[in-house]
Amino acid sequence: MEPVFLPVATEQPALPAILDAKIERAAAYARAARSAATRRAYESDWAIFTAWCAAHQLGALPATPDVVAVFASDQATAGRNPATIGRRVAAIGHHHRAAGYPAPTALPTAGRLAEVLAGIRAEHGGAKRRKAPADAAALRNMLAAIPGDGLRAVRDRAILAIGMAAALRRSEIVALTVNHVGIVPEGLRLTIARSKTDQAGEGAVIAIPEGSRIRPKALLLDWMAAAGHREGPLFRRLSRADALTPAAMSDRAIARLVQQHAAAAGYDPTQFAGHSLRAGFLTEGAAQGATIFKLQEVSRHKSVQVLSDYVRNAELFKDHAGQRFL
């Protein structure tokens, strides 16, 4: 009798393990779809909500629409603006969906919650309070108020100039690497690898002219020469002794930096934020007659609605209907 060879059973991963791995991979993609700033905000909002629930002995997960409605009402009473409250409700929904529960706003019993949110918007809404733009005059004053040629001073001048010249969000400033900087005779070609409106990571290239007043190219080259790093984050954290570290700055550090130098230049620092650099470019560009489409080339806004507001504000008195008779 010839020997019979039975197939050797190979060990296969159990189906649940395979599914768990795929679910975790899908979750990673879902997390990547939201910007880092949004994820941080959602985590903070969720912590605030769970702490509120614990203080009131209420269940946070899952939470009923009525619980979320009372939370939103308390937030409005505490002075939170409707946009912040709306984001916190969205964060609550996000964490519910991540845990396998429907968002409280999606439940059939969410009618009262919708009414509360609408009431908050109606009573506490109004014109959006924007931070002051760091336009050309403000930025020149801020740059002039940074004394000395130490590493921190050189870095801060480069951040202010590049942030304004490329209409960058603070998250985009800290995401820049040395490899994103292209030096050309006309100025700079700055690669924005990923941004708030480019979650797919297609990237964009921004042209920054050489400049003769703010001189963004010269200020950036000063920083790169002083720092001496050839790769990695472009704008790095400095130690308390102003020593260079390998870590990138945080986006919150950009906001503090702008406020610090605004105060040094004699401005009210509470009126400025990281977004002031981006708004400053758009405000100055519109005032100098740039079209919406030329502004959009730099700002990379998906919609021209925001840009049209900048242009309209710049042209409020241009060719005014009452110019000839008032």
Cα–Cα distances in Å, from 145 out to 16, 118, 165? 62, 45, 18
Q: How far apart are CA 44 and CA 127, in angstroms?
A: 25
Question: Using 50, 70 and 90 to split pLDDT, how confident is the model at 30?
Answer: low
Q: Tell me: the pLDDT tens digits for 271-284?
A: 999 899 999 999 89
Task: Check whether 113 has a pLDDT greater than 50.
Answer: yes
Average pLDDT, the chain: 85
Are the C-beta atoms of 154 and 160 separated by less than 8 Å? no
Torsion angle in degrees (nearest 10) through CA of 166, 258, 251, 308: -50
What does the pLDDT average to over 20-26?
A: 55
- Provide the 8-state DSSP code for 213: S
271 burial via Cβ count (<10 Å: 0-12, 13-18, 19+): middle
Range name among 130-134, 138-142, 197-201, 255-259 with the lowest pLDDT average: 197-201
**Predicted local distance difference test score (pLDDT) of residue 312:** 78
Average pLDDT over residues 58-83: 91
Percent residues over pLDDT 70 in the chain? 85
What pLDDT does residue 173 have? 94
Domain boundaries, the chain: 19-124, 136-314
Give me the pLDDT at residue 16, please: 58
For residues 238-255, average pLDDT = 92
Burial class (CB in 10 A: 0-12, 13-18, 19+), 321: exposed
* pLDDT number for residue 122: 84
Between 100 and 196, residue with greater pLDDT: 100
Residue 10: pLDDT band with limits 50, 70, 90:
very low
At residue 50, the 3 state secondary structure works out as helix
- The Cα 125–Cα 127 span in angstroms is 7
When pLDDT is cut at 50, 70 and 90, the band that residue 156 belongs to is very high
Percent of the chain with pLDDT over 90: 52
Does the pLDDT at position 251 exceed 80? Answer: yes
Q: Report the residue count for the chain.
A: 326
> pTM score > 0.75 for this model?
no
Joined together, the tokens standing for residue 149 give: 């040629």
Q: Flag the least confident range among 31-40, 166-175, 189-198, 243-252.
A: 31-40
Beta bridge partners, 238, equal 244
So what's the pLDDT on residue 177? 94
d(CA 171, CA 248): 11
The answer, yes or no, to whether residue 61 has pLDDT greater than 60, is yes
Q: Determine the straight-line distance between the first and last CA of the chain, rounded to whole angstroms.
A: 116
pLDDT at 2 over 60: no
Cα torsion angle, 220, 280, 291, 299, sign: positive
Query: Tell me, what's the pLDDT at 184?
Result: 93
Name the residue with higher pLDDT: 33 or 187.
187
| Contact (CB, 8 A) for 72 and 83 | no
The domain made up of 19-124 has a fold known as DNA polymerase; domain 1 (1.10.150)
Domain 136-314 grouped into CATH 3.30.465.10: no
Closest-CA residue to 139 (of 320, 304, 262): 262
Q: What is the pLDDT of residue 21?
A: 56
Give the pLDDT confidence score for residue 8 in this predicted structure. Answer: 47
pLDDT tens, position by position, 266-325: 999 999 998 999 999 998 988 888 888 888 888 888 877 777 888 878 777 777 777 777
The answer to which of 47-56, 130-139, 195-204 has the lowest mean pLDDT is 195-204
Distance of CA 236 to the CA centre of its chain: 18
pLDDT in tens, 46-56: 999 999 999 99
